[in-house]
Structure 1
Amino acid sequence: MDTQKDNNFSFTLLDGTTFFLGSAFAKVVLVVNTASRCGFARQFDALQRLHDRYQTSGFTVLGVSSQSFGKQESDEPCDIAAAIKAKCSNVTFPITQLTAVRGKAIHPFYAWAATQVSLLGRPKWNFHKYLIGKDGELITWFASSTDPLALKVIEAVEAALAK
């Protein structure tokens, strides 16, 4: 995959603060487009466990709230937070305000990521996952159905942290 190390992207979090992603962040990040009313929302617990396991090693999950697939997310940040809390009582990784992951209003990160992967590697539904390295490169992607604690995800995260 092509590396574009100068790409730094920002997201607005539910609390209104900004999350910067890219080489300036210098962490391994699993970017996951989320929707609290999606059947895959059960993955919030596994995402939290993954975040907890590797957080002290320089890893985080970034949940990107999106209505790009079936409008399965609330509009307001407080409603998104409440719905996520109802699914997983202790989500501590950052969650963004509504963000388009496809279409005319696509977020710049997702537009860039689409150029880094094949058509198969682009989000087809909620809970698609991109693993971003410390240097801002897109390392790999995982389909929505991939459990965040699957061996292939763990191995990819550990390899990225070891770099």
Structure 2
Amino acid sequence: MDMDTNRHKDFSFTLLDGSIFHLCSGIQQVVLVVNTASRCGFARQFDALQRLHDRYHVDGFTVLGVSSQSFGKQEFEKPCDIASAIQNKWSTLTFPITQLTAVCGKSIHPFYAWAATQVSWYGRPKWNFHKYLIGKQGQCIAWFAFATDPLAPKIIEAVEAALGAQ
């Protein structure tokens, strides 16, 4: 199989402040892409996501929160409302968070369309806080279900392995 079929091309996301986050293959950064919703019961994971981000950011790791209404419409529509909700409950978040983005359905973001080709049906988002770990060369290394705590040993091990990979 051609190795490039497993690597994503370049994707961009619009962040809450209007700036662009580029998820580029080969940028030597490991990214945990998580579809988030501030009004979801799993939103308590924001704290653990921040701790994970803080722990490994200096090593070339980041968390990317992808605000989505794809499951239960548990996110606000306007970027300012999403930002306010997050600021009110999790004022210490520093990892990038996108404006509203579809993670499934007819308006699916190109990243999520690509990611769906990299995993089985089971590895596709079924709810908010589904996680994809993207490696330094743009490959989808692993996925983790919504209920998986961001500080679970299997996520820590995968992040550390991805950061150590050349």
* TM-score normalized by the length of structure 1: 0.96
Question: What residue number does 2:13 align with?
Answer: 11
Question: What residue number does 2:64 align with?
Answer: 62
Pair 1:139-2:141 in alignment: yes
Distance 2:161 2:72 in 1: 34
**What does the per-residue CA deviation read over 1:57-106, in whole Å, with 9 as the maximum and x for residues that have no partner?**
00000000000001100011111011112221211000000000000000
Distance 2:80 2:26 in 1: 29
Pick from 34, 37, 54 the counterpart of residue 32 of structure 1: 34
Distance 1:126 1:6 in 2: 22
Q: Please say if residues 37 and 43 of structure 2, whose CA atoms lie closer than 8 Å, have aligned partners that are also in contact.
A: yes
Question: What residue number does 1:130 align with?
Answer: 132
Distance 2:7 2:142 in 1: 15
Give the aligned length: 163
Distance 2:144 2:67 in 1: 17
- Which consecutive residues of structure 2, in runs of 5 or more, have no partner in the other structure? none
Cα deviation, residue 117, structure 1: 0.2
Cα deviation, residue 24, structure 1: 4.5
Pair 1:148-2:150 in alignment: yes
Question: What residue number does 1:43 align with?
Answer: 45
Any runs of at least 4 consecutive aligned residues in structure 1 with deviations exceeding 4 A, and if so which?
none
Question: What residue number does 2:82 align with?
Answer: 80
Question: What residue number does 2:96 align with?
Answer: 94
Question: What residue number does 1:109 align with?
Answer: 111
Cα deviation, residue 4, structure 1: 3.2
**What does the per-residue CA deviation read over 1:104-125, in whole Å, with 9 as the maximum and x for residues that have no partner?**
0000000000000000000000
SS in 2 for 1:60: strand
Q: Please say if residues 45 and 149 of structure 2, whose CA atoms lie closer than 8 Å, have aligned partners that are also in contact.
A: yes
* TM-score normalized by the length of structure 2: 0.95
